[in-house]
Amino acid sequence: MFSSKHFELSDIPDLSGKVAIVTGSNTGIGKVCAIQLAKKNCQVIVPSRSEDKGLAAVADIKAITGNEKVEFIKLDLLSLQSVKAFAEEFKSKHDKLHILINNAGIMLAPYSLSEDGLESHFATNHVAHYYLTMQLLPTLISSGPSRIVNVSSFGHNFTLVSSRSLDNINDEKGYSRMIQYGFTKAYNILFTRELTRRLEANKINNIYVNCNHPGVVSSELSRHAFDQQSWFSKFYNNHVAIPTEKGALTQLYLATSPEVESKNIKGEYYVPYAEPGCANAFSKSDKNALDLWNYTEQLLKEKVPDYKGAIF
Ligand SMILES: NC(=O)c1ccc[n+]([C@@H]2O[C@H](COP(=O)([O-])OP(=O)(O)OC[C@H]3O[C@@H](n4cnc5c(N)ncnc54)[C@H](OP(=O)(O)O)[C@@H]3O)[C@@H](O)[C@H]2O)c1
């Protein structure tokens, strides 16, 4: 399933002077990303909805790497007000941002709504990360060259077997956990492509926006569907899935490798290990990308009264 590795953790360059945010870095693939960035002297922000989990992860990362520039800031992606507060706190403390890894996600969760009345996969995996990115974009531009990595999934292919659409994405009627996950992961690809198109159209050339499938990785991602202590989860995590260190490679490549700039890699979907992948037709449709952008902009204007809209 995976090609041979042309990028290793040891290939991450020195990141002294760089600032990174990795959402979902209190555990799983995101935590490995935060550790590896910190090892290379990057200043890393660890957002978490739980202060206990966030501070514990920060303590771990500092102990493992010896890098003291690792910081927790509270972020609950199920609340647009929390996203706003996170961005404001970050900007009050930092005037530079070089790497944004939109990694946090949920999968196979039972139907529920966010604080803003959005279905929870849609809210977490797409809308909150879109809003976060829009608020941080001016800082990413002024800090350029900078990187944005949107963590998608092979699961974006579940869009092939459903007619769910933006018209009913928040509805309980017709809800399927797997399909919903798939659509939100396709949205990660569409967002990557439309953001890249707009940056290029506005001659903003110093941001490299890409997305990836990390692989089938041993983590807590299936926690909403399976008891993590069950024999099935243990067998799956120990014998089927790859370890998080390998799962983090592709997004770390897109976030740090000098090759991304030398090869001008933008708007692409990468797969393990750090190789160009092939997204499905739904996720490559320019119309779908534009529709998603316009839908999300309209939604944010309704849900966040002082949202001024994307900069372009
Ligand atoms: N593992 C795989 O096989 C696989 C395959 C394809 C794609 N992916 C993608 O990889 C990414 C990372 O997944 P993972 O495998 O590392 O999963 P994980 O171990 O479950 O980690 C997910 C992270 O997202 C955070 N998160 C979830 N909801 C949040 C919210 N409302 N606010 C703030 N943080 C929230 C979690 O925080 P809490 O601890 O507070 O919940 C956790 O830190 C996801 O986007 C996933 O879709 C994973």
CA of 269 to the centre of ligand 1 (A): 19
Residue 239 lies inside a defined structural domain of this protein: yes
Strand order from edge to edge, sheet including 207-212: 70-74, 43-48, 19-22, 99-102, 146-151, 207-212, 269-271, 275-276
Ligand 1 closest atom vs CA 102:
45
Residue 7 lies inside a defined structural domain of this protein: no
Regarding the beta carbon of 213 and ligand 1, being less than 6 Å apart is answered: yes
CA of 96 to the centre of ligand 1 (A): 25
How confident is the model at residue 143, as a pLDDT? Answer: 98
**Dihedral angle, C-alpha 183, 104, 265, 97, nearest 10 °:** 140
CA distance 195 to 179: 24
Give strand pairing partners of 48.
74
Residue 311 lies inside a defined structural domain of this protein: no
Q: Which of 181, 187, 270, 273 is catalytic?
A: 181
Residue 280 lies inside a defined structural domain of this protein: yes
Regarding the beta carbon of 182 and ligand 1, being less than 6 Å apart is answered: no
Residue 228 lies inside a defined structural domain of this protein: yes
**In the structure encoding, which two tokens stand for residue 311, read together?**
């900069």
Residue 308 lies inside a defined structural domain of this protein: no
Range of the domain at 59: 14-303
Regarding the beta carbon of 29 and ligand 1, being less than 6 Å apart is answered: yes
Could you say which residues of the chain have pLDDT below 50? Answer: 1-2
CA of 202 to the centre of ligand 1 (A): 32
**Are β-strands 275-276 and 269-271 bridged in parallel, bridged antiparallel, or unpaired?**
antiparallel
CA-angle at 272, arms to 267 and 277, nearest 5°: 40
Residue 141 lies inside a defined structural domain of this protein: yes
- Per DSSP, the residues of 160-217 read GG----TTTTT-STT--HHHHHHHHHHHHHHHHHHHHHHHHHTT--SEEEEEE---SB
Per the listing, tokens 């399909």 go with 179
CA distance 203 to 208: 13
**In the structure encoding, which two tokens stand for residue 144, read together?**
């350029």
Of 35, 78, 107, 242, best ligand 1 pocket probe by most atoms within 8 Å of the beta carbon: 107
Regarding the beta carbon of 294 and ligand 1, being less than 6 Å apart is answered: no
Residue 35 lies inside a defined structural domain of this protein: yes
How confident is the model at residue 4, as a pLDDT? Answer: 53
Tell me if residue 181 is catalytic. yes
How confident is the model at residue 228, as a pLDDT? Answer: 85
Here the CATH number for the domain that contains residue 148 is 3.40.50.720
- Report how many domains make up the chain: 1
